[in-house]
């Protein structure tokens, strides 16, 4: 069952590019979260999307949000990706695709892992989601528009 707008975002704990365990609940009551699932590190579309989030990262921070990217790549792959493109946000390793399945992120053409962004408010409620494999920049635009409309606590 896919997570929808209005649902409480399912909690999870995954390993980051720095080897730390990160849970969604770590942010509850403190920050909104822009949780974006992407197919693979260092591929053209995923690099364009990650760099778009990087280029707007300060705007997300100013809006009281943290950006978190998730793919099935290893923490080591994430570390190399983050270093190569100077990505300042958290990348989490979902090697078994358990969190992807928990959120119901669909595969594209039944093969490629999907690209979906969830905007989760400070109370842990999904306020918006955007699903598009090819509109990389729109993931950032949709997230920012949603965050600016959320009440700041």
Q: Which residues are catalytic?
A: 46
Which token pair is 90?
């958290």
Tokens at residue 57, please? 């990262």
Please give the sequence-ordered ranges of beta strands (E in DSSP) within 43-143, or none if there are none. Answer: 65-71, 90-93, 107-108, 112-113, 116-120, 126-131
Residues in the chain: 153
Tokens 């053409």 belong to residue: 109
């Amino acid at each position: 069952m896919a997570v929808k707008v209005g649902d409480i975002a399912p909690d999870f704990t995954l390993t980051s590019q720095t080897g730390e365990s990160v849970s969604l609940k770590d942010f509850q009551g403190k920050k909104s979260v822009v949780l974006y699932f992407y197919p693979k590190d260092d591929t053209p579309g995923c690099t364009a999307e990650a760099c778009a989030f990087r280029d707007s990262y300060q705007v997300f921070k100013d809006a009281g949000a943290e950006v978190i990217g998730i793919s099935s790549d290893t923490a080591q792959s994430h570390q190399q990706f983050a270093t190569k493109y100077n990505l300042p946000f958290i990348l989490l390793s979902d090697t078994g695709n358990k969190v992807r399945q928990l959120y119901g992120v669909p595969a594209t053409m039944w093969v490629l892992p999907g690209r979906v962004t969830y905007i989760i408010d400070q109370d842990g409620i999904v306020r918006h989601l955007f699903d598009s494999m090819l509109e990389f920049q729109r993931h950032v635009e949709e997230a920012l528009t949603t965050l600016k409309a959320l009440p700041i606590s």
